Structure 1
Amino acid sequence: MQIEIHAHGFPLSEALRAHVERRFQFAVGRFEDRVQGVIVRLSDLNGPRGGVDKHCQVQLRLRGLPKIVIKDTEADTYVAVDRAADRSGRTLGRNLQRAQRKDFVSCWVEWR
Protein backbone atom coordinates (compact mmCIF):
# COMPACT_ATOMS: atom_id res chain seq x y z
CA MET A 1 0.00 0.00 0.00
CA GLN A 2 1.42 3.34 -1.05
CA ILE A 3 1.08 6.31 1.33
CA GLU A 4 1.75 9.77 -0.14
CA ILE A 5 2.21 12.65 2.28
CA HIS A 6 2.04 16.31 1.25
CA ALA A 7 2.57 19.30 3.57
CA HIS A 8 1.37 22.81 2.69
CA GLY A 9 2.40 25.87 4.67
CA PHE A 10 5.07 24.18 6.81
CA PRO A 11 8.04 21.84 6.36
CA LEU A 12 7.33 18.11 6.80
CA SER A 13 9.64 16.75 9.50
CA GLU A 14 10.88 13.18 9.42
CA ALA A 15 9.15 12.53 12.77
CA LEU A 16 5.78 13.68 11.40
CA ARG A 17 6.27 11.64 8.22
CA ALA A 18 7.01 8.51 10.28
CA HIS A 19 3.99 9.18 12.52
CA VAL A 20 1.64 9.52 9.52
CA GLU A 21 2.96 6.34 7.88
CA ARG A 22 2.71 4.35 11.14
CA ARG A 23 -0.82 5.55 11.95
CA PHE A 24 -2.25 4.90 8.49
CA GLN A 25 -0.52 1.55 8.13
CA PHE A 26 -2.15 0.54 11.41
CA ALA A 27 -5.57 2.04 10.57
CA VAL A 28 -6.06 0.71 7.04
CA GLY A 29 -3.33 -1.93 6.74
CA ARG A 30 -5.70 -4.84 7.27
CA PHE A 31 -7.56 -3.76 4.11
CA GLU A 32 -4.32 -3.52 2.14
CA ASP A 33 -5.59 -5.79 -0.65
CA ARG A 34 -8.50 -3.39 -1.36
CA VAL A 35 -6.60 -0.08 -1.00
CA GLN A 36 -4.65 1.17 -4.01
CA GLY A 37 -3.21 4.15 -2.20
CA VAL A 38 -3.54 6.70 0.54
CA ILE A 39 -2.93 10.41 0.01
CA VAL A 40 -2.51 12.51 3.16
CA ARG A 41 -2.51 16.30 2.80
CA LEU A 42 -1.43 18.30 5.84
CA SER A 43 -1.81 22.05 6.01
CA ASP A 44 -1.54 24.93 8.45
CA LEU A 45 -4.49 27.17 7.64
CA ASN A 46 -3.58 30.23 9.75
CA GLY A 47 0.19 30.01 9.47
CA PRO A 48 2.11 31.49 12.41
CA ARG A 49 -1.02 33.00 14.01
CA GLY A 50 -1.87 29.62 15.58
CA GLY A 51 -5.25 28.38 16.71
CA VAL A 52 -7.30 25.35 15.66
CA ASP A 53 -5.92 25.33 12.16
CA LYS A 54 -3.94 22.14 11.56
CA HIS A 55 -5.83 20.40 8.78
CA CYS A 56 -5.48 16.77 7.69
CA GLN A 57 -7.26 15.56 4.55
CA VAL A 58 -7.07 11.90 3.58
CA GLN A 59 -8.02 10.35 0.28
CA LEU A 60 -8.31 6.57 0.13
CA ARG A 61 -8.19 5.17 -3.40
CA LEU A 62 -9.90 1.79 -3.51
CA ARG A 63 -10.07 -1.07 -5.99
CA GLY A 64 -13.58 -1.36 -7.41
CA LEU A 65 -15.17 1.24 -5.13
CA PRO A 66 -15.39 5.05 -5.08
CA LYS A 67 -12.65 6.93 -3.26
CA ILE A 68 -13.15 7.97 0.37
CA VAL A 69 -12.21 11.45 1.62
CA ILE A 70 -11.78 12.19 5.34
CA LYS A 71 -11.02 15.63 6.80
CA ASP A 72 -10.10 16.74 10.29
CA THR A 73 -8.94 20.05 11.79
CA GLU A 74 -7.30 20.35 15.20
CA ALA A 75 -4.92 22.60 17.13
CA ASP A 76 -2.14 19.98 16.88
CA THR A 77 -1.06 18.27 13.65
CA TYR A 78 -0.42 14.92 15.36
CA VAL A 79 -3.93 14.90 16.85
CA ALA A 80 -5.45 15.75 13.46
CA VAL A 81 -3.52 12.86 11.89
CA ASP A 82 -4.58 10.45 14.66
CA ARG A 83 -8.26 11.35 14.36
CA ALA A 84 -8.22 11.22 10.55
CA ALA A 85 -6.48 7.83 10.60
CA ASP A 86 -8.99 6.40 13.09
CA ARG A 87 -11.93 7.71 11.07
CA SER A 88 -10.36 6.39 7.84
CA GLY A 89 -10.09 2.87 9.23
CA ARG A 90 -13.67 2.85 10.54
CA THR A 91 -15.13 4.38 7.37
CA LEU A 92 -13.21 2.03 5.10
CA GLY A 93 -14.32 -1.02 7.09
CA ARG A 94 -17.94 0.13 7.01
CA ASN A 95 -17.87 0.80 3.25
CA LEU A 96 -16.27 -2.56 2.48
CA GLN A 97 -18.88 -4.32 4.64
CA ARG A 98 -21.69 -2.57 2.77
CA ALA A 99 -20.16 -3.48 -0.59
CA GLN A 100 -19.78 -7.10 0.49
CA ARG A 101 -23.41 -7.25 1.68
CA LYS A 102 -24.59 -5.68 -1.56
CA ASP A 103 -22.60 -8.24 -3.61
CA PHE A 104 -24.03 -11.07 -1.50
CA VAL A 105 -27.61 -9.88 -1.92
CA SER A 106 -27.27 -9.43 -5.69
CA CYS A 107 -25.63 -12.86 -5.98
CA TRP A 108 -28.43 -14.46 -3.94
CA VAL A 109 -31.13 -12.76 -6.03
CA GLU A 110 -29.49 -14.00 -9.26
CA TRP A 111 -29.22 -17.54 -7.88
CA ARG A 112 -32.87 -17.62 -6.89
Structure 2
Amino acid sequence: MQVLFEARGAEALALRGVAVRRTRFVLRRLQWLVPRARVHLEDINGPRGGVDKRCCIELQRPSGEPLVVSALASQWREALDAALARAARALLRWWQRHRGQPATARLVPPR
Protein backbone atom coordinates (compact mmCIF):
# COMPACT_ATOMS: atom_id res chain seq x y z
CA MET A 1 0.00 0.00 0.00
CA GLN A 2 1.31 3.40 -0.97
CA VAL A 3 0.87 6.09 1.70
CA LEU A 4 1.08 9.73 0.59
CA PHE A 5 1.58 12.36 3.30
CA GLU A 6 0.73 16.05 3.03
CA ALA A 7 0.96 18.65 5.78
CA ARG A 8 0.98 22.37 6.38
CA GLY A 9 3.16 23.57 9.21
CA ALA A 10 6.40 22.43 10.81
CA GLU A 11 4.73 20.54 13.67
CA ALA A 12 2.63 18.50 11.29
CA LEU A 13 5.61 17.71 9.05
CA ALA A 14 7.43 16.25 12.06
CA LEU A 15 4.71 13.58 12.28
CA ARG A 16 5.35 12.19 8.80
CA GLY A 17 6.97 8.95 9.97
CA VAL A 18 4.38 8.39 12.68
CA ALA A 19 1.49 9.02 10.29
CA VAL A 20 2.82 6.62 7.65
CA ARG A 21 3.54 3.86 10.20
CA ARG A 22 0.17 4.25 11.94
CA THR A 23 -1.70 4.22 8.60
CA ARG A 24 0.01 1.02 7.51
CA PHE A 25 -0.56 -0.57 10.93
CA VAL A 26 -4.26 0.28 11.17
CA LEU A 27 -5.03 -0.78 7.59
CA ARG A 28 -2.72 -3.81 7.48
CA ARG A 29 -5.55 -6.37 7.33
CA LEU A 30 -7.49 -4.41 4.72
CA GLN A 31 -4.54 -3.28 2.61
CA TRP A 32 -5.60 -5.54 -0.25
CA LEU A 33 -8.63 -3.23 -0.57
CA VAL A 34 -6.59 -0.02 -0.53
CA PRO A 35 -3.80 0.43 -3.09
CA ARG A 36 -3.22 4.04 -2.01
CA ALA A 37 -3.93 6.14 1.06
CA ARG A 38 -3.44 9.90 1.38
CA VAL A 39 -3.02 11.50 4.83
CA HIS A 40 -3.41 15.27 5.08
CA LEU A 41 -2.72 17.17 8.32
CA GLU A 42 -3.76 20.80 8.67
CA ASP A 43 -3.88 23.35 11.50
CA ILE A 44 -7.10 25.23 10.80
CA ASN A 45 -6.59 28.47 12.75
CA GLY A 46 -2.82 28.52 13.18
CA PRO A 47 -1.02 28.94 16.50
CA ARG A 48 -4.07 30.17 18.44
CA GLY A 49 -4.78 26.70 19.87
CA GLY A 50 -8.04 24.92 20.55
CA VAL A 51 -9.67 22.06 18.70
CA ASP A 52 -8.22 22.98 15.35
CA LYS A 53 -6.00 20.12 14.18
CA ARG A 54 -7.62 18.39 11.20
CA CYS A 55 -6.59 15.03 9.80
CA CYS A 56 -8.15 14.06 6.49
CA ILE A 57 -7.61 10.55 5.10
CA GLU A 58 -8.48 9.55 1.56
CA LEU A 59 -8.48 5.84 0.70
CA GLN A 60 -8.55 4.73 -2.92
CA ARG A 61 -10.92 1.76 -3.21
CA PRO A 62 -10.84 -0.97 -5.89
CA SER A 63 -13.95 0.49 -7.52
CA GLY A 64 -12.03 3.69 -8.18
CA GLU A 65 -14.08 5.96 -5.97
CA PRO A 66 -12.27 7.42 -2.94
CA LEU A 67 -13.36 7.05 0.66
CA VAL A 68 -12.69 10.29 2.54
CA VAL A 69 -12.88 10.71 6.33
CA SER A 70 -11.66 13.48 8.61
CA ALA A 71 -11.35 14.22 12.31
CA LEU A 72 -10.75 17.31 14.44
CA ALA A 73 -8.85 17.33 17.73
CA SER A 74 -6.67 19.55 19.89
CA GLN A 75 -3.54 17.39 19.32
CA TRP A 76 -2.10 16.02 16.08
CA ARG A 77 -1.87 12.43 17.29
CA GLU A 78 -5.48 12.43 18.52
CA ALA A 79 -6.73 13.70 15.17
CA LEU A 80 -4.66 11.11 13.29
CA ASP A 81 -5.85 8.20 15.45
CA ALA A 82 -9.50 9.28 15.28
CA ALA A 83 -9.39 9.64 11.49
CA LEU A 84 -7.68 6.27 11.07
CA ALA A 85 -10.28 4.57 13.26
CA ARG A 86 -13.09 6.13 11.20
CA ALA A 87 -11.39 5.14 7.95
CA ALA A 88 -10.94 1.52 9.02
CA ARG A 89 -14.58 1.25 10.16
CA ALA A 90 -15.89 2.86 6.97
CA LEU A 91 -13.74 0.63 4.74
CA LEU A 92 -14.84 -2.49 6.59
CA ARG A 93 -18.52 -1.47 6.31
CA TRP A 94 -18.06 -0.84 2.58
CA TRP A 95 -16.43 -4.23 2.07
CA GLN A 96 -19.14 -6.04 4.05
CA ARG A 97 -21.88 -4.37 1.97
CA HIS A 98 -20.26 -5.20 -1.36
CA ARG A 99 -18.64 -8.61 -0.84
CA GLY A 100 -21.74 -10.59 -1.84
CA GLN A 101 -22.18 -8.76 -5.14
CA PRO A 102 -20.47 -9.80 -8.37
CA ALA A 103 -17.49 -7.67 -9.36
CA THR A 104 -19.27 -6.12 -12.35
CA ALA A 105 -22.17 -4.95 -10.19
CA ARG A 106 -19.77 -3.14 -7.85
CA LEU A 107 -18.06 -1.21 -10.61
CA VAL A 108 -21.21 0.09 -12.27
CA PRO A 109 -22.61 3.14 -10.45
CA PRO A 110 -26.34 3.04 -9.64
CA ARG A 111 -28.69 5.15 -11.77
State the TM-score, normalized to the length of structure 1: 0.83
Aligned identity (percent) is 34
Partners of 1:27 and 1:88 within 8 A in 2: no
CA distance in 2, matches of 1:31, 1:4: 17
* Secondary structure of 1:63 counterpart: coil
Which amino acid is the alignment partner of residue 20 of structure 2? Answer: E
Partner of 1:74: 73
Q: How many residues align?
A: 102
CA distance in 1, matches of 2:102, 2:96: 10
Alignment of 1:55-70 (within 5 A): 55-70=54-69
Partner of 1:38: 37
RMSD over aligned Cα atoms: 1.6
State the TM-score, normalized to the length of structure 2: 0.84
What is the deviation of 1:64? Answer: 1.9
Unaligned runs of 5+ in 2: 106-111
Moved more, 21-30 or 86-95: 21-30
Point out the structure with max Rg over C-alpha.
Answer: 1
